[in-house]
Amino acid sequence: MMMDPAHGTIGSDEADTREVQKNNFADAGGNAEPHQEARRVNNDPRANKQKGNQVRRDRRDVHGWVVLDKPIGMTSTQAVAVLKRLFNAKRAGHAGTLDPLASGGLPIALGEATKTVPFVMDGRKRYRFTVCWGEERDTDDIEGQVTATSDQRPTREAIEALLPRFTGVIEQVPPRYSAIKVQGERAYDLARDGEVVELAARPVEIHHLTLVDQPDNDRAVFEAECGKGTYVRALARDMGRILGTYGHICALRRTLVGPFSENNMIPLDQLEALCDRAASGEGSLADALMPVETALDDIPALAVTRADAARLHRGQAVLLRGRDAPTSSGTVYVTVAGRLLALAEVGNGEIIPKRVFNLTGLTASTGRNERN
């Protein structure tokens, strides 16, 4: 389980993605290019077309974040497809692949929120996971084939003494079944074809690693908070080897992704119920959305006048002088009248727009951030 940002879109996969149809157990990691459906020529003036007894609805502009409490058994790609259907949204993508057999936070970006996916991907992740001792598997998780066994079981004292070795910046060899490219091919494709995959160790950062429970001799429950690129599966594998037994991941729940915590998560059944109420006029889908700028919590905000906003919206730089000139440089998000306008770079008193937002359509309800 890669505790790292992952795909941002329907059908696009990167860092440790192994989809159900490939009989694999994916981690988090990858790209964030928003998926857009192919355009269709439509010369019919009517908004909808009939196909059999079904009506195909035109997709609409929906902008914001939904933090799905993903159920076990659903792939991240499937989850994005479900959310896209429920909201009838034109664009959707996710910010960190979550294993099919894992539950927990899967932030899904709709519309213009897809432009902020990289900021979530670069944030910290927190996981609660269970390691089963005594077996090492080729995928380093419960779905793989057993490659080594041991009758030894670690004591609590031995486990706790080991944890400092896996805290801070460490060198980690990614699992053979990962999406890392080897001479242009995904490692998991090579591994499935029976080829020997040798991946080089690389530095990753684990901020916290704690043993929270040991229900029996065969299992241990951990919590880890880590940075981009960390594989939980590799963590379980390496701890098992050093402890003189073997280990693999047998349960996983993600509890934090960047700015999104468990408090922000919404189960699929609740989201479907909200959509049903909204369809009958008893509620609004906007209540399920978090604002696009939620992903930008760690970035300074800069308010501009409407005149300057007009220039930035056209992609033109703006010079700020006097007391209005920003005193810092770097990335900011720009607002006008409290509304998100653009991502920009600031330097030498100049604002240079990099990504401009068009939030016409369905957006989060007023005060949505405050309620979370």
Check residue 91 and give its pLDDT: 93
Q: Please give the structure tokens belonging to residue 347.
A: 């330097």
**Does 138 or 197 have the greater pLDDT score?**
138
Residue 19, pLDDT score = 35
User: Per residue in 151-187, pLDDT tens?
Assistant: 999 999 999 999 999 999 999 988 877 667 776 777 7
Q: Which of 99, 140, 238, 308 is catalytic?
A: 99
Backbone phi, then psi, for 309, in 5-degree steps? -60, -40
Instruction: Give mean pLDDT, residues 16-30.
Output: 35
Q: Which residue has the tokens 């008193």?
A: 349
Identify the residue with better confidence: 283 or 328. 283
Q: Is 186 left (phi over 0), alpha (psi -120 to 50) or beta?
A: beta
Distance in angstroms (rounded) separating the CA atoms of residues 32 and 129: 25
Per-residue pLDDT, 24: 33
pLDDT per position as a tens digit, 95-110: 988 878 889 999 999 9
pTM: 0.78
Residue 112's φ and ψ, nearest 5 degrees, are: -65, -15
More confident residue, 282 or 17: 282
Query: Does position 230 have pLDDT exceeding 70, yes or no?
Result: yes
As a whole number of angstroms, the distance between CA 136 and CA 132 comes to 9
- Identify the pLDDT of residue 57: 64
User: Could you tell me which of 88, 76, 86 has the C-alpha nearest to residue 32?
Assistant: 76
- pLDDT of 324 reads 58
pLDDT of 50: 46
- Give me the pLDDT at residue 4, please: 36
pLDDT: which is higher, 56 or 15: 56
Range of weakest confidence among 72-76, 85-89, 194-198, 262-266: 194-198
Instruction: Give me the mean pLDDT over the 4-16 stretch.
Output: 35
122 is catalytic: no
The pLDDT of residue 369 is 46
The answer on pLDDT for 42 being more than 70 is no
